[in-house]
Structure 1
Amino acid sequence: MEINIQLKSLADKINQLKNKIETEESAKHAFVLPFIHILGYDAFNPLEVVPEFTADLGLKKGEKVDYAIFQNGEPILIVECKGWKEKLTVHNSQLFRYFHVTKTRFALLTNGISYQFFTDLDAQNKMDEKPFLEFDITNLKENTINEITKFHKSNFNVDNIVNNASSLKYIKEIKKQINDELENPSNEFTKLFANKVYTGRLTEKVVDEFKDLVQKSVSQYINEKINDRLNAALTKETIKQQDEAVLIVEDENKVNTTEEELEAYRIVVAILRRKLPTSRIVHRDTQSYFGILLDDNNRKPLCRLHLNGGKKYISLFNDNKTESKTAITSIDEIYQFEKELLDTVDAYEGTIQV
């Protein structure tokens, strides 16, 4: 089973059970050990997972960390657990004390829901105060799952993780700074934009006024980008559905191409041949309509003709491939749509930005 599916299954289990879990020990067994298992380690093999791991610390004897994960006889990750309702803090944590007396480069502090991974980026063999990887297992994003995968038994490589940890640490801090600036723009952030658009002197009053403008501008910009992506996705899905409808296998016995349809096709060819060779203008008859395509490509409809019903229609396509249907009394009226047909060709050929 892929690790992302296993993590999702564990998250579902946590959401179902957490209100029934009262003790730290229960959280270990219900939440933390399954996570260790997902990483590929056997919690019942004392050569891989050692519970209540003890290392003598000078005059301090008998202090224990909840788990140590071993590879090739050496600890590679020490784990300290808390109750799931407890907030995580590294202060007074055994992790700090154990980190420098073992050969491990990684420490994990967790309450079974929140996970914090530490290493020694700031000072060699001394655990950093801030985690380089932090997540809520019930709300995982794809990039976080990729980082968790690096701790899997089959992938574990100390150098690769440590080298990447520095980037993760700074990306996390930068994202926090971005969030802080978006919520409450600083003078420096405000001046960065105000200097480019305001020609007067940036007094304290002007900067204060621009803080609100900058915040609104950034918020509107982000919302517009999100809406653009949503609209693009919806348009793509609509086109896909149209294409799938066209690809339905037609019962050839029920498709009857009439002379009127062929005559209409010749009119369309006559209009478009000033921009296209006739070999690229292809007709395809269906039960629902008579289609005319560019390069025999269902994704490039030039027009569709509905001539066999009680009323006649022509369907045209704009540069967003949105179909519009117009009634006609005879195929001679197709000449009236010369501009729309030529514009459709320009859109497909890149003359107009699609």
Structure 2
Amino acid sequence: MALLDNIRRLSENVRRRQPHTRGEQATKNALILPFLDALGYDIFDPTEVHPEYIADFAKKRPSGPSEKVDYAIYLNGMPIMFFECKSADSEPNLHNGQLQRYFNATPSVKVAVVTNGVRYLFFTDLEEPNIMDGKAFFEFDVLGFSERDVETLEAFSKAFFDAALVRQRAEDIIYTGKVTSYVNELLRNPSESFTRFLLNEINITTGKLTAKRVEKFVPIVKKAIQSTLLEMATRSIKQETYEPAPPVAVTPAAAPPPAPPRAPAESQPDLAKGVVTTAEELEAYDIIQRICADSAMKDKPQVQYLDSVNYFGLNIGNRKKWFMRLFFDGRRKAVVTRLAVERASPLVPGFEIEPAPENVGKSRVYISGLKDIERLRPLVLLAYEEEIRRAEASGGDDDDAPAPAAEALRH
């Protein structure tokens, strides 16, 4: 996806520029205009990106100066989006009704955006036609996004914008988000009513389902759900790894296609030893793989994982050549690398970081969830590249940290 590559480059630039950006005008130039450019709009053409847009009706007072919208985005000669810009060090909230007044009085505009150059809040008129909602239907964080977020953002790019579909897309985003959050919570913590439903459907018990009997089955249902999700995720990875490519017609001048690479056995979950690889860990593995694929190093070994009871480890082909460990089972989620704190700290602004316990790693960064991993991109890349250099320098000999010491990270 071209937009994904554009946004990834933009993210790196924003991460570098944000600490040095002060004031609204600097934020526009350094952060917001590059965002519009990434969406495919010509920021140098005022008939497409109109700065300080003014309408005749927009008066603070009858005899006062006209209110302005920071940017009006035009397509086919009509404004389609309004952008209100805040400075990079402020929250992108609706501080006044100026943007709403413009939106309500401009029928061709179906999207209004408030941004500080990092977070972009998208508004439309779901509650009442032509009246801007008070709550955003979509938020995009340039420093922390998923591929799904970029797919959603693509609907607002120049190539894909369709004013007639904005309302439908907004409803899809909101309702899908609500259902996803509900199902996610339900699968992590099955409710009594959901457990009752399952027990009735599979007819697993006889007699009346009392609250006490249902409570007994809740942990069983939770364990069954986790096993199902793990099986689905593992099956998906195996299909991507092992499924041969569709047959290709081979002409005399063409060589047969190479066999698909097989994932090492070390990257497979070891359930026999009591290790349960969760869907969350596999998703984190997928994100880290994609980040490492962007490394500028010439020879890039494939990222593999080896799960253990204490942590989920990422390595470059051997458990001793690990560069990152994920601790997702404790009270707080943490990422551990072999980078010293003084090297890792500048790469993770805004995150809590501290030295890791002895024999576990050199630095530990606390995160709130999977979305934070993308924000750790510079740290992931450096840890990965340093391990490649370490492996090359040592010729493959590298001591692994004893796993039992990792237990300290779970408390």
Q: 1:244 aligns with which of 243, 255, 258?
A: 258
Q: Describe the superposition over 1:59-93 as per-residue Cα deviations: whole angstroms up to 9, x where unpaired.
A: 65643332211234432101122344544444745
Give the whole-Å Cα distance in 2 for the aligned partners of 1:153 and 1:245: 40
In the alignment, which residue of structure 2 is the partner of 1:194? 199
Aligned equivalent of 2:71, options 43, 52, 67 = 67
Report if the CA contact (8 A) 1:48-1:69 is conserved.
yes
SS in 2 for 1:16: helix
| CA distance in structure 1 between the aligned counterparts of 2:95 and 2:192, rounded to whole angstroms | 33
Question: How far apart, in 2, do the equivalents of 1:199 and 1:75 lie?
Answer: 64
Matched with 2:183 is: 178
Counterpart of 1:123 in structure 2: which amino acid? E
Corresponding residue for residue 8 of structure 1: 8
The yes-or-no answer on 1:219 pairing with 2:213 is no
Structure 1 position 99 matched with structure 2 position 103: yes
Deviation at 1:202, TM superposition (A): 3.0
Structure 1 contact 131–169 (Cα < 8 Å) conserved: no
Q: Secondary structure at the match of 1:80?
A: strand
Give CA-to-partner distance per residue, 1:131-150, whole Å, 9 cap, x none. 33333234444444343333
1-structure distance, mates of 2:54, 2:123: 19
Secondary structure of 1:159's counterpart equals helix
Instruction: Give how far 1:34 is off.
Output: 0.8
Question: Distance in 2 between the 1:106 and 1:8 partners?
Answer: 24
Which amino acid letter does the alignment assign opposite residue 157 of structure 1?
A: D
Q: Which residue of 1 aligns with 2:125?
A: 120
- With over 3 angstroms needed to count, the CA separation of the structure-2 counterparts of 1:153 and 1:228, relative to structure 1, is closer
Map of 1:50 onto structure 2: 50
Q: For 2:258, what is the secondary structure of its paired residue?
A: helix
1:106 shift after superposition: 0.9
Q: Please tell me the residue identity of whatever aligns with 1:230.
A: I
- Counterpart of 2:160 in 1: which secondary structure? coil
TM-score by length of 1: 0.58
Please name the residue that 1:333 is paired with: none
Q: Tell me the equivalent position of 2:28.
A: 28
Superposed structure 1 runs of 4+ greater than 6 Å apart:
none
TM-score if structure 2 supplies the norm length?
0.51
Deviates more, 1:83-92 or 1:121-130: 83-92
Which has the higher mean CA deviation after the structures are superposed, 113-122 or 180-189? 180-189
What secondary structure, in the 3-state scheme, does the structure 2 residue paired with 1:117 have?
Answer: strand
Q: 1:173 to 1:73 in 2, by over 3 A?
A: same
Deviation string 1:257-293 (CA, Å, 9 cap, x unpaired) is xxxxxxxxxxxxxxxxxxxxxxxxxxxxxxxxxxxxx
Matches within 5 A, 1:292-307: none
Q: How far, CA to CA, are the matches of 1:49 and 1:22 in structure 2? A: 23
Output one character per residue of 1:74-119: Cα deviation in whole Å (capped at 9) or x when no partner: 3210112234454444474533332212221111122222222222
CA distance 1:201–1:142, change in 2 (3 Å): same
Other-structure match for 1:233: 240
Distance 1:153 1:89 in 2: 25
For the pair shown, the structure with the greater C-alpha radius of gyration is 1
Contact 1:116 1:134 (8 Å CA) reproduced: yes
- Does the 8 A contact of 2:103 with 2:131 survive in 1? yes
Letter of the 1:17 partner, please give it.
R
- CA 1:39–1:175: 2 relative to 1, 3 Å: same
Instruction: Show the counterpart of 1:133.
Output: 138
Deviation at 1:58, TM superposition (A): 6.7
AA of the residue aligned to 2:20? K
- Give the structure 2 partner of residue 110 of structure 1: 115
**Change over 3 Å in CA distance of 1:6–1:191 after alignment to 2:** same
> Would the alpha carbon gap of residues 85 and 222 (structure 1) be closer, same or farther in structure 2, given more than 3 Å must change?
farther
CA contact (8 A) 1:3 1:149 kept: yes
Partner of 1:336: none
Preserved contact between residue 57 and residue 101 of structure 1 (Cα < 8 Å)? no
Q: Which residue of 1 aligns with 2:293?
A: none
Aligned-residue offset at 1:229: 2.0
Alpha-carbon distance change, 213 to 20 in structure 1, aligned in 2, over 3 angstroms: farther
Partners in 2 of 1:224 and 1:169 — Cα distance? 29
Residues 18/202 of structure 1: CA separation in 2 closer, same or farther (3 Å cut)? farther
CA distance in 2: counterparts of 1:244 and 1:72, whole angstroms: 48
SS at match of 1:128: coil
Q: Which residue of 2 aligns with 1:203?
A: 210
How many residues of Structure 1 are paired with residues of Structure 2 in the alignment? 245
Q: List alignment gaps of at least 5 residues for structure 1.
A: 247-354
> What one-letter code is carried by the residue in structure 2 that aligns with 1:228?
R
Task: Say whether the 8 Å CA contact 1:96–1:127 is kept in structure 2.
Answer: yes
